[in-house]
Structure 1
Amino acid sequence: MPAIVVTGEPDKPSISPPRRQAQLSDIAKGLLNHRSWAAMPSSNAQQPAPPDAITNITADHFQLPESHVSNSSNGTQSNDIQTNGDSRLAPPMTVPGRALHPPAVHHVPGLPNSLLHGINHTLSDTPLPSAPTSTPASPRLFPVRQNSGITTPRVRPPATTLNIPGMTRSRVSPDGKISQRDVGAKLVVIMVGLPARGKSYITKKIQRYLSWQQYETRIFNVGNRRRGAAIPSQNLPEQPIQDSPVASPPAVDAPTQAARILLNGLDPEQGQPPNRKTRLPSAEEMDQSAKFFDPQNTVAAQLRDQVAMSTLDELLDFLLNQGGSVGILDATNSTIQRRQLLFDRVKEREPKLGILFIESVCEDKKLLETNMRLKLRGPDYRDKDPESSLADFKKRVEAYESAYVPLGQYEEDHNMQYIKMINVGQKVIHYQLQGFLSCGIASYLATFNLSPSQIWITRHGKSEDNCLGKLGGDSELTMEGRNYATVLYNFITLKRSEWEEDQMRRASLSTELPPKPGDRTPPYPELLGDLDAKNFCVWTSMLKRSRETAADFDEDENYDVKNWEILNEIHAGKFEGMTYEDIKKNYPEEYAKRAKDKLNYIYPGVGGEGYLQVINRLRDMVRELERIKDHVLIIGHRSVCRVLMAYFMDLTRDDIADLDVPLGLLFSIEPKPYGIEFHAYRYNEKQFWFDELVDYKPQRETEKGN
């Protein structure tokens, strides 16, 4: 085939070879895909070429746009095809009403035919390098895709950071999760605040909420790393002290090892970590009491900085290399210098990562004392004298306060997004929030409250479809189901009365600090609230079996009954009204697909849902459960109860779709500042009552329920 040298248009830069290759590939692929194409005959071929014979076409078959042909010898523009003295143009293609020429195929010397014709290209979500083609000299038979010209993977934040597992999909994220390449949609959360301000409480709630929505979220606690870095020597295995080197001490991770080296210094002779002749600081020398947190303690300050940066690097590895979506750095980070240091390290590792500062401020004296009681049960003071521990902890807080600078003007001047929580949700301030995750976290934090209350969760009573093993439907309760509804009302009414009496008893107990040794009274920041004014909400789905189970709860007896469509059972699509045996027999592929991955499975047909869709529609209800201060009884269905229990119990994604929630099981959840208090009861059909299941643990069921 005669060589043709292609250059750019007159007075314009010539198109680079990589872009020209992609341009030629696009044209060739277009020709291959156009089924009505027949190659035009040349002087040496009188018969039309078959559709797949495009690889045999030479330059003799085409009329080229005049601006794309040049003389290869001197680079001057020419309208001729250089064919060693023999120049021919393809005759026009005959189309009723007009004469058309086929689009030109340009050959670049050294370009493989397989590349020219679009063969053996790797499919990728990153466009091939290309440049827009010029206007053709004559109309084409079909449009040719013009590539964007992007030659590298995305180097900017994504157009939208909205990624909802199960609800959004893309080529790089078919499951809706944040793809590994979309680092601009990921988030680094950096906590800020003095000790005993509820930072760890907030981080655990955020982690539970985001993980429940199937975002890979992990907490990285600097305090835990610090305690491991300065472990007292007497807690290490005994090793002989001798002149020659001995066996290596127990293996530790690199950041902790670096922190220990910083504490102990280097061996002056060899520049290596000290051998066993130089022990780690003893508990008396470096016990991490209040003096350890004094800003004037330069050695301890270096250790704290080193541990903080090492922990941050671990967090960034999780986000950038391990598929994480949100990493939470739990530490005080109480100075501008520390926060700027962390900010710079994140941007150094990956400039596109989002960074959100969250500060917890406590202005309520009673709430602060409650938090201090919790701190005295923590790892730094556990099993120590409460009075001396409290004195030391107050000194620690004073040390932090001497250098503490709250979030504010500095962050705003440097365009750093932040959220400031005051008194754990009583007041929330945020600045310049960017991205779906940041805004979602802000909305969630605004729902926090520490008011004591109870949340009850159960399925409806037995229905007619339950007896037949049918999915979905809207059947009524059986006689056994109606009995369950009556017993449920009697039991809840009794427990409501007992709870109010218990709260009054707790309010009368001494809550002075420091607590007495052995005092395990659960701390409540709102013990003296108006307990008698609490409402009791009963929430059901729109389905008959759920509404009928709540029939005995009378609104005249201070029960607020409401029906929610978002509490409806998971919709089985075209399998509604069928049994699992029917599905297994008639749709074995669907049955096997569901059994393999119930969490991500979606029932086929109109209205069909999966567990991820149920999680999404219950997101607003979870925020409402966090917001209200009243008691709530939820009478739902198997999938709904599983999803709600997964949130409160912080269950993993592998457990959600298989959690054992049979008919007749009743759960009680009481949120606390340190977690939840959980009880389970089973319906006793013979005694018409509920029996408590002592030490009940969530477990997986064996039957193939929804």
Structure 2
Amino acid sequence: MSGPMLHSRSSNPYPQEWAPDKYPATRSDKMIIVMVGLPARGKSYISRRLSQYLSFFYGVPCKVFNVGNYRRETAGAFQTSDFFDPSNETALNARIQASQAALSDLSAWMSSVLPARLEEDKYVSGDFGALALFDATNTSVERRQWILEQVAPLGAKVIFLESICNDQELIERNIVTSKVGVKDYAHVGAEAAVQDFRDRIKQYEKVYVSLSEVDETHLSFIKMVDGGRQFTMNNIRGFLPSRMAQFLMNMHVEPRSFYFTRHGQSEYNSKGKVGGDSGLSASGNAYAKALAEWVKVHLMLDEQGKPRPTRLWTSSMKRCVETARFIPQFKFESADGTEWINMRPKVFRNLDELYAGECDGMTYDEIAASFPEDAERREKDKFSYRYPRGESYADLIARLEPIAHEMERQREPLLIVAHQGILRVLYSYFMEMPREQCVHVPIPLNTVIKLTPTAKGCYEERFTILEPAAEPDSH
């Protein structure tokens, strides 16, 4: 917590000393998500994204325990497909040892979460909960039962999460994009690596039993088929499990990119003022025109120079709508035969800038003069600080959760024209940064930021369209 909110005074001798907790998650029991599925089904990607979603939007302490990493430490990075043969007892014992090491670390981490939070904040009490993700194949009924026995002393709720893929094209793409060049095949040619990994999958298929193929209805589980085309849920109840399910229904592993840009310089930017709903300056209008030309070349056409479906979202504020107004829109027939209106703008109030409340339209010097205590609080904890009758970055994160769901489900290139605070939050989420660090992300004017989520992480490119324009130092 950020510190005392108010000092006592005659009209309020007993003020509330501490702000509400900045971690909005319910103090639920500890939870363990156990991944299930054959290799190249996106389990590690799902684990990583789910961990980021719950920690970023709900403040849940999350950690992924990838058994493959433990196996590489104990048995070496490169192992041929024979190592994964279930009849290879020596290798099987090595893999069990790796799983035991991962579960041991998982148990130790879960037991450490509450003491760490209590040390951080003496005003808290109760079980804060923690969520661990056990990332491995766990393809047999026996292995799943063994895991339940191993974690039973923790008293944690266990949810199995299975990823099934019947789309051979998607499987092949996952093998090529996520396995070639990784530690397991660092010194192996691409073709040999792909073939060996196919053989590894066949070894796992020998013992693979999908959830519910036998009587496992007593378990809590979610089954995802073909990257989210079909879902099966069993015994899924409670706040966080239901939020997990909704998130998983929107996420997918197909390649796509997001393009972030702030509005062009506004009249208030040029005067050093915070917030407001002013229009663009002359410099801002120049950027709007330059952005439209850049978008036509880099977003709206594919590698063959043909139109491709592309989306455009903006905030409802004047400076964003004006920035997007020169981007051309046109109809064409997409590859699946449907009529598509390219770059038809979709306006979201959720994308409006962080509201500065009583400080709206003021410069930072004016804020420091009129609200000196607030300026001091903001300096100490920019993430949790809330403007008088306005918003904080923590509020902004809650406001942007529905936008994150919408973004997760998109499959076409998406351009978002929004504001510094908004794009800081979205950037930090997709780049898998801690939520508190979002306040420090540089999002300059006159720049397009391209983010491409992949199985190995989210990759960033920045394009300076015009020279950066003047603006307030921060928000």
Common topology (TM > 0.5)? yes
Give the secondary structure class of the aligned counterpart of 2:183: coil
Give the length in aligned residue pairs. 431
The answer for the alignment partner of 1:577 in structure 2 is 361
The answer for the alignment partner of 1:627 in structure 2 is 409
Shift of 1:316: 2.5
Q: Is the 8 A contact 2:22 2:394 kept in 1?
A: no
Q: Is the 8 A contact 2:264 2:287 kept in 1?
A: yes
2:450 matches 1:668: yes
CA distance in 1, matches of 2:346, 2:195: 50
CA distance in 2, matches of 1:294, 1:209: 35
Change in 2 beyond 3 A, CA 1:211/1:404: same
Q: Is the 8 A contact 1:553 1:561 kept in 2?
A: no
Structure 1 spans left out of the alignment, 5+ residues: 1-170, 233-286, 505-530, 689-701
Q: Is the 8 A contact 1:191 1:357 kept in 2?
A: yes
Change in 2 beyond 3 A, CA 1:634/1:172: closer
The answer for the alignment partner of 1:222 in structure 2 is 67
Structure 2 spans left out of the alignment, 5+ residues: 1-17, 115-128, 332-341
Change in 2 beyond 3 A, CA 1:390/1:424: same
Change in 2 beyond 3 A, CA 1:345/1:685: closer
Change in 2 beyond 3 A, CA 1:321/1:450: closer
The correspondence for 1:403, drawn from 174, 196, 207, is 207
CA distance in 1, matches of 2:454, 2:162: 21
Give the secondary structure class of the aligned counterpart of 1:472: coil
- Matched AA of 2:179: K
The correspondence for 1:176, drawn from 17, 23, 46, is 23
The answer for the alignment partner of 1:211 in structure 2 is 55
The answer for the alignment partner of 1:444 in structure 2 is 247
Give the secondary structure class of the aligned counterpart of 1:357: strand
The answer for the alignment partner of 2:188 in structure 1 is 384
Deviations for 1:229-253, whole angstroms, at most 9, x for unmatched residues? 1249xxxxxxxxxxxxxxxxxxxxx
Change in 2 beyond 3 A, CA 1:303/1:177: farther
- Superposition pairs of residues 563-602 of structure 1, within 5 angstroms: 563-602=347-386
Deviations for 1:534-560, whole angstroms, at most 9, x for unmatched residues? 432221111111111111124346321
Deviations for 1:594-635, whole angstroms, at most 9, x for unmatched residues? 111111111122xx1111111111111111112122222111
CA distance in 1, matches of 2:330, 2:191: 50
- Matched AA of 1:628: Q
2:82 matches 1:291: yes
Deviations for 1:111-138, whole angstroms, at most 9, x for unmatched residues? xxxxxxxxxxxxxxxxxxxxxxxxxxxx
CA distance in 1, matches of 2:309, 2:193: 40
CA distance in 2, matches of 1:492, 1:314: 48
- Superposition pairs of residues 14-29 of structure 1, within 5 angstroms: none
Shift of 1:654: 4.1
Q: Is the 8 A contact 1:364 1:423 kept in 2?
A: yes
Shift of 1:225: 0.5
Q: Is the 8 A contact 2:429 2:435 kept in 1?
A: no
Q: Is the 8 A contact 2:295 2:327 kept in 1?
A: no
- Matched AA of 1:230: A
CA distance in 1, matches of 2:221, 2:372: 51
The answer for the alignment partner of 2:321 in structure 1 is 547
- Matched AA of 2:329: E
Q: Is the 8 A contact 2:223 2:231 kept in 1?
A: yes
Higher Rg: 1
Q: Is the 8 A contact 1:178 1:325 kept in 2?
A: no
Q: Is the 8 A contact 1:309 1:342 kept in 2?
A: no
The answer for the alignment partner of 1:614 in structure 2 is 396
Q: Is the 8 A contact 2:35 2:138 kept in 1?
A: yes
CA distance in 2, matches of 1:210, 1:349: 21
Shift of 1:227: 1.0
The answer for the alignment partner of 1:306 in structure 2 is 97
The answer for the alignment partner of 1:413 in structure 2 is 217
Change in 2 beyond 3 A, CA 1:413/1:207: closer
CA RMSD of aligned residues (A): 2.6
The answer for the alignment partner of 1:280 in structure 2 is none
2:342 matches 1:495: no
After the TM superposition, list the runs of 4 or more consecutive aligned residues in structure 1 that deviate by more than 6 angstroms.
none
CA distance in 2, matches of 1:613, 1:192: 35
Q: Is the 8 A contact 1:356 1:418 kept in 2?
A: yes
CA distance in 2, matches of 1:492, 1:387: 37
Q: Is the 8 A contact 1:412 1:431 kept in 2?
A: no
The answer for the alignment partner of 1:320 in structure 2 is 111
CA distance in 2, matches of 1:293, 1:685: 55
The answer for the alignment partner of 2:150 in structure 1 is 345
Q: Is the 8 A contact 1:447 1:627 kept in 2?
A: yes
CA distance in 2, matches of 1:583, 1:623: 35
Shift of 1:200: 1.2
* Greater RCO (CA < 8 Å, at least 6 residues apart): 2
Change in 2 beyond 3 A, CA 1:172/1:545: closer
Q: Is the 8 A contact 1:187 1:437 kept in 2?
A: no
Deviations for 1:307-354, whole angstroms, at most 9, x for unmatched residues? 21221221122223124722111111111111111112222222xx22
Question: How does the TM-score come out when normalised to structure 1?
Answer: 0.58
Shift of 1:444: 1.3
The answer for the alignment partner of 1:62 in structure 2 is none
The correspondence for 2:34, drawn from 179, 190, 193, is 190
The correspondence for 1:202, drawn from 46, 49, 63, is 46
- Matched AA of 1:445: L
The answer for the alignment partner of 2:335 in structure 1 is none
Deviations for 1:241-287, whole angstroms, at most 9, x for unmatched residues? xxxxxxxxxxxxxxxxxxxxxxxxxxxxxxxxxxxxxxxxxxxxxx6
Shift of 1:178: 4.6
Deviations for 1:636-655, whole angstroms, at most 9, x for unmatched residues? 11100101111222223342
Q: Percent identity?
A: 34
2:261 matches 1:458: yes
Shift of 1:410: 4.8
Shift of 1:217: 1.6
- Matched AA of 2:465: Y
CA distance in 2, matches of 1:682, 1:545: 19
Change in 2 beyond 3 A, CA 1:647/1:176: closer
The answer for the alignment partner of 1:705 in structure 2 is 474
Question: How does the TM-score come out when normalised to structure 2?
Answer: 0.84
CA distance in 2, matches of 1:495, 1:201: 27
Shift of 1:590: 1.1
Q: Is the 8 A contact 1:570 1:614 kept in 2?
A: yes
- Superposition pairs of residues 276-287 of structure 1, within 5 angstroms: none
CA distance in 1, matches of 2:328, 2:191: 50
Higher helix residue share: 2
Change in 2 beyond 3 A, CA 1:662/1:387: closer
Higher strand residue share: 2
